Structure formats: C-alpha cells, structure tokens
Amino acid sequence: MEYTNSISCLDSRYFNEVKQLINVYDEFSYYRNRIYVELKYFELFTSSIIKYNPMTDFTYEDYLKIQDKEVLLRHDVKAIEYFIKELPEIKETKKAHLIHIGLTSQDVNSLGMMMCFRDAGFIVLALLKQLITDFNTQLIEPYIPTTNDNPISNTTIPSNDTTIYNNTKNDILMLSYTHGQPATPTHFSKEMLIYKDRLDDIFNELEMNIRLGLTVKFGGATGEMNALKFALPDTNWEKWCDHFITLFDLKNDDPKQDYYVKKSFFKRTQHTNQCDNYDSILKVLYIIKRMLHIIEHLRGNLWLYCHREYLIQKTVKSEVGSSTMPHKINPIDLENSKTSIEMAKRMIDGVADILSETSFQRDISDSSALRNVSSIFGYVVLTLKKMSSSILRLTPNKNKIKEELQNHPEIILEGIQTYLKIHCKIDNAYEIIKDISRGNKLTFMDIYRIVNNLDIDDIHKTILYNLKPENYS
C-alpha cells in the first residue's frame, strides 16, 4: 500500500491556496536560511568571499542529507555546520574550523527563522492588500452616494421626488438593525466602509511591525558573547554583532519597483539569554489575530446578508451546491474562512503561551513552537484568499434591500420626534410617539395619522409627510 506524505489539510486539500509559503516558511527554507546566516557570518569573521549562495544553490537533496545527519546527531544546527564544512569551496579556504565559531544555535536559528517570518509576513501583507482592494471594488466603490443632502435641513418644503436626496443611481439605502431589531436607514456602502477602515488601519500597523519592528537574538550561548570576548578581547563584539545584523536588511530604494519588493530592517535585541524574548513575533501575531477578528466580523455579516438575500451570489454553471438539492448556491468559501480564522487564532494563543515563557536561560520548547508558526501563516493565507474569492462573487440585491426598508416605515419615527423637539418645541415628543408606536406594526398611513393629529403648523406637517425611509439619511 502506498501512502502520501501529507497529514494536514494545508498540505493536501488547500495546498493550491497556501503553496506560496513553500520555500518561504517551511522546514526546507528554515535550513536554507540558517546556512545563509552561517556563511554570512563566516565571510565577515574571516574576511572571505564565498560564491556558494544557499538561497539559490541549496537543493532538496542537500536538505535530505542534513536530515540524515540530524537523525544521528539529534541536533539540527550541528548537522548544518557539518554540511557547510563539507562544501568544496569552504574546504578550499582552509578555514572550515571557523564555521559557527563563537556562536550558539539560537544565533543562527533566530536569524534564519525571522527571515522565514518576515517573508511570510510580506505574503500576508500582499494578500490583505488584495482583499481590501477586492472588497472596495466589489462592494463599496460602486455604491458610495455622491451627496448627503438632508430634507429636514431644507428651508423649503421638499418635493415628493425623493431622487433629489440620492444623486447616484447606485446608492443603496438599507435597513439597519440594532439589538437585532429595525433601527434606522443606513447606506450599504457605509456599512462596508466600517470594515474597510478597520482593515486599512490594521494593514498599516502590521506593515510597520513587519518592516521595522522584528527583533533577532545574536550574542553567543547566553547573550554575553563570552567565547568571543575571551578569545578576541580587543574587538567590540556588541558593535560587531550589531553591524552583522545589518547585512540582513532588505532595502529597496528604486521607486519604479513594486511596493511589495521586500524592504525591512531587523533589530538586534541588546539584552537576552540564549534566545530572544520573542516580543516582536508575538506583537505581529496578535496584530494578525486582531485582523482575523475584523475579518470574522465582516465574514459573519456577509453570510447573514446572503441569508437575508441582501447579497446575491454569482452562479457558476459547473458548480454543485448540494448533492440532492439542485437549486442551492452555498457561500462555502465564507464558511471555510470561519474554520481557518478560528484555527489561526487558537494556534496564535497556543504559540504565544509557549514563547512568552522559558525555563532559566532557555529550554527547547520555543524551537518546537516556532516550527508551528508556518501553519498559522498557512491558515491566514487560506483565510485571505477564501475571503477574496467570496467577496468577488457577491452583488447587492437592490430590490430586496429596498423592499425590506419600505416594509419598516416606523424607522422614521426617530427623525419625527427629533424634528418635533427642535422645530415645534414639543418637549415630550419622544413620549408621545412612543406611546402610539412601541410594540405596534405601523404602516405609512398610521404614521400619516400620527402626524396629522399633532397640534403643529401645516408646513411642518407637510415636511413630515414627505419623510420616508428612502430619504431619511
């Protein structure tokens, strides 16, 4: 019997959605990055120039060789060290004994892992930007009203033609709900802009922390660089290490290049034990978790809008919605997104609990936790792609939205009681309207009678007669 080599659904069912992370944040890339760190260190320490570039020259077969060695050693960084020492170019330098000199595993691990973390972060940023763009293009920009005229503020009696209040044919006024009950009219575009504003803000915060806020540990066995200071006491090793970290800066000063060409700067944590404090990783992960909360809120409301037929899903002829009910179009990507959101959120909490604690100067639990961060990014990437694909299939159902708005004329009573207080000096206007309306199903004729029975001037009655849900905005 033959078996596959995948366990997680990220490796099989959802592989096409998350394959961007292959060679970015996986075991292969983690080993490759650490070899890169070791060679950069060797070059600076020995003033050598090495042509071998693991970012392009390291192969999957090389990775398997290191894995075989690691089985015997039970230590991944030592296996990497032995692999590098066997490279012909390193042997030719006659300085192979200086590979990994003065370092501890975490010096290499920290930089190698943060390279993975940073590069995966760029993928998330690009996908989040695409989601915001798709969201804006599909459900916001076409439906933004061009004006916000208010009939109540006019000094003249409004016309019965309500189009003067909505100067774009695409503007969609809809019924809003508070506490699950009909409240007031609201613009569909405004409801969507609430989420766009939040996503824009979280994007900016996430970008700043990925580009400028990631820290690494580099300072010997327990952060004091004891071995290097003992062997070479005349060197200022703090400054040397700070300079070494700058070799991993990603700079893009060409304005013609795409904005997402990588540009970021690591910072070396000055006071550490064997490992970094991981605060910068945790900060980014919790920004991502807050992003997921926003997306879940949006996702849930879009699902409810589909349920209430506020949104129409695009029909794809080749698809099947049910094995027995041929009429169905299910919002499956919206539903799949919920699971990936929850998986990522819970994994973030689990990883954070481990990374925020350590035994004495270090135990190895942090290493195991960090290897699971790639799965977090997998679920985040899956979420962003599923949300984009969902949104691109949705269109507002203007007729249904308008019908539901007009079925609730009582939502203009807020405006009526406010007008009565301001223009007619009726102090208890709220109480008068409440006694007549609360708990009752009202029609436009009922509201007409309420207004007609008020002891106010005819010009005020005319203005209130003309108030309708579609112009109360």
In CATH, the architecture of 408-471 is Orthogonal Bundle (1.10)
Checking if the pLDDT of 181 tops 50, the result is: yes
Please report the pLDDT score of residue 95 as a whole number.
97
The span from the CA of 151 to the CA of 155, in Å, is 9
H/E element holding 105?
A: helix 105-139
The span from the CA of 293 to the CA of 342, in Å, is 9
75 φ, ψ (degrees, to nearest 5): -155, 115
Q: What are the residue ranges of helices labelled H in 308-408?
A: 332-355, 365-370, 373-391, 398-406
Q: Which fold has domain 8-101?
A: Fumarase C; Chain B, domain 1 (1.10.275)
Please report the pLDDT score of residue 162 as a whole number.
38
**pLDDT confidence of 180, banded at 50, 70, 90?**
very high
Domain boundaries, the chain: 8-101, 108-401, 408-471
Look up residue 36 and give its two tokens. Answer: 């890169």
Helix, strand, coil content of the chain in percent (nearest 5): 60, 5, 35
21 burial level (CB within 10 Å; 0-12, 13-18, 19+): buried
The 3-state DSSP class for residue 149 equals: coil
Look up residue 435 and give its two tokens. Answer: 């006694």
Nearest in space to 398 (alpha carbons), one of 191, 170, 133: 170
How do residues 409-441 score in pLDDT, each as one tens digit?
999 999 999 999 999 999 999 999 999 999 999
Nearest in space to 31 (alpha carbons), one of 75, 73, 72, 1: 75
- pLDDT higher for 166 or 412? 412
Checking if the pLDDT of 252 tops 60, the result is: yes
Helices 27-46 and 237-246, packing angle to 10 deg: 130
Task: Kindly report the average pLDDT of the chain as a whole number.
Answer: 91
Q: What 8-state DSSP symbol labels residue 264? A: B
Beta strands in 48-180 (DSSP E): 173-178
Cα–Cα distances in angstroms (integers) from residue 282 to residues 332, 351, 353, 364, in the given order: 31, 9, 10, 18
Cβ atoms of 210 and 121 closer than 8 Å: yes
Checking if the pLDDT of 272 tops 80, the result is: yes
**pLDDT confidence of 155, banded at 50, 70, 90?**
very low
The 3-state DSSP class for residue 182 equals: strand
CATH class of the 108-401 domain in this structure: mainly alpha
**Which residue's entry shows tokens 């200022």?**
236
Please report the pLDDT score of residue 219 as a whole number.
94
Percent with pLDDT over 70 in the chain: 93
The span from the CA of 214 to the CA of 425, in Å, is 61
The span from the CA of 129 to the CA of 72, in Å, is 45
Please report the pLDDT score of residue 436 as a whole number.
93
**pLDDT confidence of 169, banded at 50, 70, 90?**
low
The CA dihedral of 264, 267, 272, 275, to the nearest 10 degrees, is 20
166 φ, ψ (degrees, to nearest 5): -130, 100
Checking if the pLDDT of 161 tops 80, the result is: no
**pLDDT confidence of 157, banded at 50, 70, 90?**
very low
